[in-house]
Amino acid sequence: MTGLANDFFHSYSDESGFPADRFQALAVVSGKPADLSILRSCLKGKLGNGVKEVKCEEVRGHRPKTEAAVGYLELAITYAVLRKIRIDVLAWDTHDQRHAIHGRDDVANLERMYYKDMIHIARRWNNPKWALFPDENSAINWLEIIGYLNNTRLQKPRFMSLFQDGPSQFIEFQEISQRCSSSEPLVQLADLFAGMTAFCRLKGGNYANWERQEKNKQQPSLFEFEEAEDESSRADRVRYGIVRFFREKCTHHSLVSWLRNRYTTEF
């Protein structure tokens, strides 16, 4: 479906985590089409030096990929400060009693998370008209999700009201079209935030220990690129540097809350 009206907002999404992983995350980048189009062009400008796309899983120490990821985060923060975009990340723990169910249907669970996240986003923007462009995932029944969303009111009904509420608009998702992440920087940006959130949930305690150690010694650079004996440890240290960069930039602009459990709750 094409030719959407100017009052439609667009949203681009991706998920992080395999069904066997404890922590799962869903990230959605949203805003007006014109603003997202400009952001897309700027994100493409951060690619190069052999890097064709940004994926959180591939940020493990290769300098061009790390620098491209940092460039993506810088642009995201800039646009969020200007209120041009929102980036909403919903994370969940599959070991939590709400999800640790015998025979759990992981696809159906992810569909419910999409429903919750998209309702939240529509209400925060206070806009009923939407288009969704998720990363390719053939297992998800997108039409069913959109059907549920289109039967949901934009505003929550008020209870115990003295007077009857007036008519309330329903959310309207007019278009849904899957995108290949390799050719859509906005989906890559969603992937970066989803992956970073899942990583913080899993390694938040280790990150806090690393940050304390870093404060006790002088660092010539924000990021570490030196070789380490253990490759996975090296990858974690690179990601710790990215998390610290993100946290410090966002804290400066009061964009996130960094809780005692050391992961970001909202952006």
The larger pLDDT score, comparing residue 188 to residue 93, is at: 188
**Spatial CA neighbour of 71 closest among 34, 144, 79, 205:** 79
The pLDDT of residue 211: 85
Average pLDDT over residues 227-241: 72
Distance, in Å, from the CA atom of 186 to the CA atom of 177, rounded to the nearest integer, reads 14
**Interhelix angle for 33-44 vs 185-215, to 10°?**
60
- For 9-155+169-199, CATH gives 3.30.420.10
Rounded distance between C-alpha atoms, residue 218 and residue 81, angstroms? 30
| Cβ proximity of 54 and 188 under 8 Å | yes
Question: What is the average per-residue pLDDT within 104-126?
Answer: 91
Residue 179 and residue 12 in contact, taking contact as beta carbons nearer than 8 Å:
yes
| Three-point CA angle 111, 112, 118, nearest 5° | 90
Query: CA separation (Å) from 153 to 130, 157, 165, 171?
Result: 13, 8, 12, 6
Specify the higher pLDDT residue, 41 or 155.
Answer: 41
Alpha-carbon dihedral sign for residues 229, 235, 237, 238: positive
What's the CA gap between 54 and 25, in Å, rounded? 17
pTM for the whole structure: 0.84
Average pLDDT, the chain: 84
Q: 253 falls in which pLDDT band (50, 70, 90)?
A: confident
Q: Looking at residue 208, what is its pLDDT?
A: 85
Residue boundaries of the structural domains of the chain: 9-155+169-199
- pLDDT given at position 6: 56
What are the pLDDT digits (tens) for 70-80?
999 999 999 99
Beta-carbon count within 10 A of 254 CB: 8
Give the per-residue pLDDT at 228: 42
